[in-house]
C-alpha cells in the first residue's frame, strides 16, 4: 500500500516541484495539496493522508500551530517539517508541536524520501543540515522557564495574534474564526496584557520575531 502524502506550502512552485519528484517514487502517493495551515487541517480531514510535508512559515495559520492541531486530532499522523528556517526556536517549537521530522529546504530530495520512510516506521528524523549545536541545545539544555509565545499565549490567542499581525480587522478575524467580535476583542486585550505590548505595530514585530508569521 502506498504512503499517502499531503503537501502544505504557501508557494505553488514548491508544491509543484515536490509533487513531480514524489510521484516518481512507486511507494508514495501525493493525495493532495494545501497552501496554508488552516486549509491543511481541512485537507487532512477530507483526504486522510499518512504523512504531511509541512512548511513552517505560512500566512493565516503557520505550520507550528497547524501541526499542533493536526496531531491533537490525529496522533497517528506523521508531520515532516520542511523549512528554510534552521533557528533553534523554529526547530524546537515544531518538534514540541508534534512534528516527527525536520528538514531544511536545501536538502537533497533523497533525504526527504528517507525522512518519510523513517517517520512512517514511528521514528524521528532530523536533517543533518540543521546545526548539531541547535539540536543538542534543544535536547539537553532546554530552558526550565519557557518565555516564548508558545508558552505565554493560548492556542486561540496565538491564532488571533497571527491574524492581527497579517492586517486583518477585528470583524474579519471574528468571521474567520467563527467567533464574536467581543471574543476577539477579549483575546486582543489578553494578548496585550500577557506580552506587555500595546500597539499593533509592536505586536506585528513580535509575531514575526517569534515565527508566528513572516514578512
pLDDT digits (tens, 9 = 90+) for 57-101: 999 999 999 999 999 999 999 999 999 888 878 888 899 899 999
**What residue spans of the chain are helical by DSSP H?**
12-22, 37-47, 63-73, 88-97, 109-119, 132-140, 149-152, 155-165, 170-177, 181-195, 200-209
Angle at 160 between CA 158 and CA 164, to 5 degrees: 115
The structure's pTM equals 0.77
pLDDT digits (tens, 9 = 90+) for 137-185: 656 655 555 677 888 899 999 999 999 999 999 999 999 999 999 999 9
Q: Domains in the chain, start-ordered, CATH in brackets? A: 3-140 (3.40.50.2300), 149-209 (1.10.10.10)
Amino acid at each position: 500500500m502506498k504512503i499517502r502524502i499531503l503537501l502544505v506550502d504557501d508557494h505553488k512552485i514548491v508544491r509543484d516541484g515536490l509533487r513531480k519528484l514524489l510521484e516518481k517514487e512507486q511507494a508514495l502517493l501525493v493525495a493532495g495539496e494545501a497552501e496554508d495551515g488552516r486549509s491543511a487541517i481541512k485537507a487532512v480531514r477530507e483526504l486522510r493522508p499518512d504523512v504531511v510535508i509541512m512548511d513552517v512559515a505560512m500566512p493565516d495559520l503557520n505550520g507550528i500551530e497547524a501541526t499542533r492541531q493536526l496531531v491533537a486530532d490525529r496522533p497517528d499522523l506523521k508531520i515532516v517539517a520542511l523549512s528554510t528556517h534552521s533557528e533553534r526556536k523554529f526547530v524546537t517549537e515544531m518538534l514540541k508541536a508534534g512534528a516527527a521530522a525536520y528538514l531544511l529546504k536545501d536538502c537533497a530530495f533523497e533525504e526527504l524520501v528517507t525522512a518519510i520512510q523513517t517517520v512512517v516506521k514511528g521514528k524521528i528524523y532530523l536533517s543533518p543540515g540543521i546545526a548539531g549545536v541547535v539540536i543538542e541545545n534543544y535536547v539537553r539544555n532546554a530552558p526550565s522557564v519557557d518565555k516564548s509565545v508558545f508558552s505565554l499565549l493560548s492556542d486561540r490567542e496565538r491564532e488571533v495574534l497571527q491574524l492581527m499581525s497579517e492586517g486583518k480587522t477585528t470583524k474579519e478575524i471574528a468571521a474567520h474564526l467563527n467567533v464574536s467580535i467581543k471574543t476577539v476583542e477579549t483575546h486582543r486585550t489578553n494578548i496585550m496584557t500577557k506580552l506587555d505590548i500595546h500597539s499593533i505595530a509592536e505586536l506585528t514585530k513580535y509575531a514575526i520575531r517569534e515565527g508566528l508569521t513572516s514578512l
